[in-house]
Amino acid sequence: MLKYIARRFVNYLVLVFVATSLAYVLASMTLSPISRYLATGRRVDLNSVHANLRSYNMDPGTPIWTRYWRWLNGIFVHGNFGKVFPGNEQVTTEMARRIGVSLRLLLVGTLLAVVFGVLLGVYSALRQYKVSDHVLTFVSFILLSTPVFLLATLIKFGAIKLNGAVGSVWFPTSDEYDPGQAGDILARMQHLILPTAVLVLGPAGAAFFSRYQRSAMLDVLGSDFLRTAQAKGLTKRKAFYKHGLRTALIPMATFFAFTFGLLITGATFTEIIFNWHGMGQWSVETIQAADINGIAAVTGFVAVMILISSLLSDIFYAILDPRVRIN
Amino acid sequence: MTNPIQIRPGDGGIEEPLMPEAPAGGAGAGGMAPLLEAEAGGGGGGGTGPDRPGRNISRGRLVWMRFRRKKLALIGVILLVAIAVLAWAGPYLTHWKVDTLDPDLSQANKGPTSHHWFGSDQIGHDLFIQTISGLQKSLTVGLVAALLSTFIAAVVGSLAGYFGKLTNTVLIWIVDMMLVVPSFLILAIISPKLRGKSFLLFAVLLAAFSWMITARVVRGLTLSLREREFVSAARFMGVHPITIIRRHILPNMASFLIVDVTLNVGGAILAETSLSYFGFGVQAPDVTLGTLIADGTSNPGTSQAYLWAFPGAFLILIVLGVNFIGDGLRDALDATSGMQA
């Protein structure tokens, strides 16, 4: 097992390196941070612009491979991913802050989505073809067909209308906390409500999990070992919880690992629409700002997250399912 | 990555999946989700193989009979046909053109009236014809991208699976590479440069980044089909490998490919609208459902619901229809789904 994991891990590291390098080179070749200075319309001295860009290691006057080499050197020798463009912030500082913001949102959102999804899926499977099953199926189909940006917009519009009708801000629709009140825990929770609701209701949320859980559950309900367990004398309820539910939960662990890994930037729309300063929002902002250092960092981070979740999902599977053997 | 590429969790991702290979055409074969179970229970195992015509009844007819039983799938077909008819007949229903403005400014910036069925925007565009035009573009992009992406996946996957060895190593390496490549970034950089060119180029771009997972499933299916007797027989008869793939391998996973195309249509439309929402998708002057929704919601504090509600509703209905059909097809094409005839 350990050898297997080690081999895959090395393989993954190579992929992460290639993906990040590709993003860096691609962004350097196509984006032009210099146009940001020229677009202001004011008079700027080109020499000072170049000097300025050199401190970001983004000067178009320097050959691209020299810049790439410096960037690599910065990462591997100094652990330095460069500066955020424009500004004087280090990429690592900015990224650490944003990962924190995204994690807060995602941890709550994904956990709630899984819990609701599993519960609804089990309920749906136990009441197959009854009215409640049909209703749940139909609703989850609609939720699965609604793009996140549309759902988030709908919820935001609804909240604005509601806040207007009530006359006070029950559901804040912007930022992670009230401006200037970063320490107010209650307000932070309030700000968490709407984006979390989007994650739970969205196409990668509870509806998604409930469909998988339902079909896994139905497979298990018709299986021989459940009948055998009952024939041995277990009550229906006990056989169901001890043998059935546990088996049906195995695939969920995989989905959980994957959803979480993908969501960390997949919450892009949610973060942008509710103005959360997380990784998802940054992934779009760096492209719009032609921030090459930022783009490379985001890409590297996404690659790492995908690979970790891929690895995790396999490990979960191997641990939970005794039939899986590694050779 | 973000939306353009649907990573389907069941497939294990980058390296060889640890979990057992998904069954052909059946529920878990990489599709979106085994959303609905076969409604026709009982009946025992479907005896005829997926490639052999039945004794009294053709396979096409059997599939159709199974499909017809699925109410949701039929609703999906009706929905999509109605929307497609509206998209291409719509321009003849109104005298407004996509590029004309209402000369009567008192009619601009208003909700739905008998004059402008879906309302009008600030400068007096008719939103009905805008939505119709967006529908056409979105449907076309979805269909083209889906067909293309499944086609690439079928070619790459079957070649890798059938030939194995070096071909397999190289192709799978490309697949893994494409999975970690920052597709969102590449799409975001290239799309704005397509301004003024055909919007179909965007569909090609979308397909180029969405075939990888399917290719892995196709490879897995090919690996098992390659060992079947009829393939060995063809090989010993000296049939050319490409002919074997074309005549024997791919037709035997037709059900999976059909379901994949169907669900990909929905995925591609979602990807297109999502990217367009950021301005990284189809470029002006072309409008799609995504750009319309983005324009309509650009001002959340003040903008009116009618600006985005119609394109939004159509978007949901299209994807819903596609999902219903894909789900019904999966059950109807699945030889083990019970009902015999």
Q: What value, to the nearest 5°, has the Cα angle with vertex A195 and ends B138 and A159?
A: 85
Residue A83, φ and ψ in degrees, nearest 5: -105, 150
| A302/B34 CB distance under 8 A | no
Half-sphere exposure of A291 (CA within 13 A, CB side): 26
User: Cα distance from A26 to chain B (closest Cα, Å)?
Assistant: 8
Interface probe with A: pick from B3, B185, B216, B276, most Cβ of A within 10 Å = B185
Summarised one tens digit per residue, pLDDT across range A226-284 is: 888 888 888 888 888 878 887 888 777 777 777 766 666 568 888 988 888 888 889 88
Residue A45 tokens, joined: 């001295």
Contact list in A for residue B319 (CB cut-off 8 A) is 145-147
Q: Which of residues 228-287 of B touch A (CB under 8 A)?
A: 266, 270, 273-274, 277-278, 280
Question: What is the Cα–Cα distance from B247 to B254, expressed in whole angstroms?
Answer: 11
Check B293 against A318: CB less than 8 A apart: no
Cβ of B274 and A147 within 8 Å?
A: yes
Nearest 10 degrees: CA dihedral of A270, A273, A277, A279? 40
Q: Cis link prior to A147 (omega < 30° from 0)?
A: no
Asked whether B286 and B51 are in contact (CB, 8 A), the reply is no
- What contacts A264, CB < 8 A, 6 or more positions away? A99, A102, A103, A106, A279, A280, A301, A302, A305
CA distances from B254 to A208, B30, B260 (A): 26, 14, 10
Cβ atoms of A244 and A271 within 8 Å: the answer is: no
To the nearest whole angstrom, how far is the Cα of A66 from the nearest Cα of chain B? 22
The 10s digit of each residue's pLDDT in A26-44 is 888 888 888 877 777 777 7
**Chain B closest CA to A102's CA: distance in Å?**
15
Q: Which residues of A touch B301 (CB under 8 A)?
A: 160
Cβ atoms within 10 Å, residue B92:
7
Residue at B341: amino acid letter:
A
CA distance B107 to chain A (A): 25
Contact criterion met (CB < 8 Å) for B323 and A144:
yes
The helix or strand, by DSSP H or E, that contains position A326, with its residue range, turns out to be none
Of A26, A284, A306, the CB nearest to B13: A306
Contact criterion met (CB below 8 Å) for A276 and A106? no
Integer CA distances (angstroms), B322 to B73, B148, B212, in order? 9, 17, 21
d(CA A207, CA A211): 6
- Cα end-to-end span (Å), chain B: 43
Contact A268 B2 (CB under 8 A): yes
Residue A85's contacts (CB-CB under 8 Å, 6 or more residues apart) are A33, A56, A58, A289, A290, A291, A292, A293, A294
DSSP state of B130: H
H or E stretch including A236? helix A236-239
Cβ contact, residue pair A314, B17, below 8 Å: yes
Shortest distance, CA A303 to any CA of chain B (angstroms): 6
Q: What percent of chain A has pLDDT over 70?
A: 94
Helices (H), A39-174: 46-55, 64-78, 91-126, 131-144, 148-166
Partner residue opposite B186 with nearest CB, options A26, A173, A310? A26
Separation CA A277–CA B141 (nearest Å): 32
Query: Contact A212/B14, CB-based, under 8 Å?
Result: no
The mean pLDDT value for A94-99 works out to 91
Q: What is the mean pLDDT of each run of 10 residues along chain B (341 residues)?
A: 37 37 36 36 41 63 80 89 88 76 70 74 77 90 94 94 88 82 80 80 90 87 87 91 90 85 88 85 81 78 74 91 86 59 35
pTM of the model: 0.79
Q: Is it the case that residue A69 has pLDDT exceeding 70?
A: yes
Query: What ipTM was estimated for this complex?
Result: 0.79
Which residues 123-182 in chain B show a CB within 8 A of chain A? 176-177, 179-182
Minimal C-alpha gap between A265 and chain B (Å): 7
Return the pLDDT at B147: 94
* B117/A contact by beta carbon, under 8 A: no
Contact check, Cβ <8 Å, A254/B13: no
Average of per-residue pLDDT across A44-70:
84
pLDDT of residue B37: 36
Q: How far apart are CA B12 and CA A319, in angstroms?
A: 15
Give the number of other CB atoms < 10 A from CB of residue B300.
13
**B37, B39, B265, B329 from B332: Cα distances, Å:** 10, 10, 19, 5
- pLDDT score for B193: 80
Q: What percentage of residues in chain A have a pLDDT greater than 90?
A: 8
Would you call B33 and A160 a contact, using CB atoms and an 8 Å cutoff? no
Name every chain A residue with its beta carbon within 8 A of the beta carbon of B76. Answer: none
Q: Give dist(CA B80, CA B318) in Å, integer.
A: 6
H/E segment holding residue B120: none
Copy the structure tokens of residue B170. Answer: 């190289």
Rounded to a whole number of angstroms, the distance from the CA of A183 to the nearest CA of chain B is 27
- Tell me how far CA of residue B277 lies from CA of A11, A82, B15, B125, B268, in angstroms: 35, 30, 33, 20, 14
Q: Would you call B185 an interface residue with chain A, using a CB distance cutoff of 8 Å?
A: yes
What per-residue confidence (pLDDT) applies to B292? Answer: 86
Max Cα separation, chain B? Answer: 78
Residues on chain A touching B17 (C-beta within 8 angstroms): 314
Residue type, B323: N
A266 touches chain B (CB under 8 A): yes
pLDDT of residue B340: 40
Beta carbons of B70 and B337 less than 8 angstroms apart: no
